[in-house]
Structure 1
Amino acid sequence: MESLTAKLCAFARAWHSSHSDHTVFNDFLALDFMGQEEYEKVSNFILKRFPQESENSVEFFNRKYFLPIVLSRSRFAEDRVKLESQSGKIQYVICGAGVDTFSFRNKNPNVEVFELDLLATQSYKKKRIQELHWNIAENVHFVAIDFSKDRIIDKLVENGFDRQKPTVVSILGVSYYLPLSVFAETIRQFSEIATTGISIIFDYLQKGAFTAPVLQLKKIVADCGETMAEGFRDHEVFDALERNGFKVDEFLGESALQQRYFRTGNLKAFDSVRLIAAIK
């Protein structure tokens, strides 16, 4: 089963698509995938566990802690996929896909999708897809993987991955729970999966961030039964990328995120979150 924080992220996407007057990222299938019953459960969870001094604590909770992170990274990744697919066929590898709905929103035949996740999470997702009577396109592959044991390239190739095709890899929401050494090893493995152009997209929290929003986010995650790691320093991330042959193509900190995605509306870029697109 997917984690509680994954449900909160899906809830945030669903809430934004139906409540916002300034849509940063429109996951119009998020609510359908969750189902009204699950949506209400998560909403009630927020109301009971995280009361805020606001007339609408669900809206306050989403705007303050989850929407700025979830919306910007999803938009960043999918904009990149759209850009790179304009030149021809590409592969899009989604790490820790969870309840991501890109495979069903995507109408571009140039994009072949590989969803990587734990078997239990994928079993839940496939069951839900069956209940919704959604069709899984031929260019979508579900790759069950245990990241702590399996070699990523082996699992991908077993499921039809072509090492000759340009590839975009998104690793979103993963680094928050990993030490730098483990995340650097993930980058190393992805540096080997394609023999031609590869782009990786990921987000991380800056190490040493102790502002009130960051501390509260860590508490929220802890209340969900998960533990956030300490984060990374920017130069550590750049060094890990360089060691594995990657060059930073885009780097968005708070001010850049605010300018690109939140210039209008009532959302503010989350403190100390970074987005990176790197190429090899």
Structure 2
Amino acid sequence: MRTAHARARHQADPQRFFTDPLASKILHLDLAPDALLPPSDDPIARHNIRFVAARSRFAEDSLASAVAAGTRQAVVLGAGLDTFAHRNPHAGLTVFEVDHPDTQEWKRQQMAAAGIALPPSLVFAPVDFERDTLAEALDAAGLDRTRPAFFIWLGVTPYLTRDAVLATLRCVAEHTAPVEVVFDYYLEPSSAMPPELRAAYETATRRVAEFGEPWLSHFTPDGLADELRAMQLDDIEDFTGPELLARYLGEPAPDGDADADVFGGHVLRAGRATAR
């Protein structure tokens, strides 16, 4: 819900760089654009909303490049209320949405209530990790391991243990054909983080824990890159939030410690161009 709200609120940003006309519809929001904007004096909220938009823009741009190279299968892990499958502009691209069956049923209800039809190119791949594995869910949904695939995994890794994150990435890496994945992750908060941002980070940490979904994992760029190379996902691009925002807002990339003024969110693309 919070991620969908961020995408909806970004639509009212005068510097909008990611378009998702369905984000507010799926939430049944009927608000004036000004009501969707973060308070003008809240730079943290503005940054977080733009970061959510930037990671989606990067993922969908990267997917478009993969489609141009011949990929016809996309997998959205932990899809939640993501709307890409309903905005899919790529003829012949099948989109597999992976999530808990209860979440998928809730999404179906939200879509029906909003009058948004399910496209024929969308395939739900329900997975209950108490009983199923990701590989089993994808096989049951019809993912073809002999054809290239592109995985999108946004807003999930902080809520999983390190072992669970790496196990999921290994499952992606075991795809027989060429494969790519875009996902985001968090660093430990920087020692250079200003006090007001440190306080905001600690507040956010406490809030998600109170919701019953605490942040459980952090990574370093070098350590994560080593893990990915060991899985043969050695084509790697890793961006900080400020670097992505600079790209999409048409601003110079930040100098120095790009994570000193934010919560340390990174967006990473990793891939393997050859079959296993």
Aligned: 1:203 with 2:195: no
CA deviation vs aligned residue, 1:205-264 (integer Å, no higher than 9, x gap): 113535314334323423544311241122221122122111143111245224212345
Preserved CA contact (<8 Å) 1:248 1:276: no
Look up the SS of the partner of 1:169 in the other structure.
strand
What per-residue deviation string (whole Å, max 9, x for no partner) do you get for residues 121-154 of structure 1?
A: 0010111222233222221101110235422222
Matched-pair contact (CA < 8 Å) for 1:221–1:227: yes
The answer as to 2:213 corresponding to 1:226 is: yes
C-alpha RMSD of matched pairs (Å)? 2.6
Unpaired stretches in structure 1, ≥5 consecutive residues: 1-6, 45-53
Say which SS state the counterpart of residue 22 (structure 1) adopts: coil
Q: Distance in 2 between matches of 1:274 and 1:119?
A: 29
CA distance in 2, matches of 1:89, 1:68: 28
Q: For residue 189 of structure 1, give the secondary structure of its aligned residue in structure 2.
A: helix
Structure 1 residues 208 and 36: alpha-carbon distance in aligned structure 2, compared to 1, 3 A threshold: closer
Partner of 2:249: 262
Which of 6, 11, 19 in structure 2 is aligned with 1:26?
Answer: 19
Letter of the 1:16 partner, please give it: H
Q: Report the counterpart of residue 177 of structure 1 in structure 2.
A: 159
Q: Is 1:215 matched up with 2:198? A: no
Per the TM alignment, residue 162 of structure 1 is displaced from its structure 2 partner at its CA by 1.0
SS of 2:269's equivalent? strand
Stretches of structure 2 lacking an aligned partner (at least 5 in a row): 252-257
Report the structure, 1 or 2, having the larger helix content.
1
Q: Which amino acid is the alignment partner of residue 70 of structure 1?
A: V
TM-score by length of 2: 0.83
Which position in structure 2 is the counterpart of 1:14?
8
| TM-score (normalised: structure 1) | 0.82
Choose which of 107, 112, 116 in structure 1 pairs with 2:94. 112
Q: Secondary structure at the match of 2:215?
A: coil
- Residues 71 and 150, structure 2, Cα contact 8 Å, conserved in 1: no
SS at match of 1:36: coil
**1:3 alignment counterpart:** none
- In structure 2, distance between residues paired with 1:61 and 1:128: 29
1:271 Cα deviation (Å)?
Answer: 3.7
For residues 170 and 148 of structure 1, the distance between their equivalents in structure 2, rounded to whole angstroms, comes to 22
Q: How does 1:91-106 map to 2 (within 5 A)?
A: 91-106=73-88
Is the Cα contact below 8 Å between 1:206 and 1:273 reproduced in 2?
yes
Q: Give the Cα–Cα distance (whole angstroms) in 2 for the partners of residues 233 and 29 of structure 1.
A: 34
Distance (Å, rounded) in 1 between the aligned partners of 2:170 and 2:15: 38
Matches within 5 A, 1:266-277: 270-277=262-269
Given the superposition, is the C-alpha separation of residues 55 and 179 from structure 1 closer, same or farther in structure 2, using an over 3 Å criterion? closer
Where do residues 50-69 of structure 1 align in structure 2 (5 Å cutoff)? Answer: 62-64=45-47, 66-69=48-51
In the alignment, which residue of structure 1 is the partner of 2:255? none
Partner of 2:127: 145
Instruction: Read off the aligned partner of 1:31 and give its amino acid letter.
Output: S
Query: For the structure 1 residues 35 and 61, does the alpha-carbon distance in structure 2 shift closer, same or farther, using more than 3 Å as the test?
Result: farther
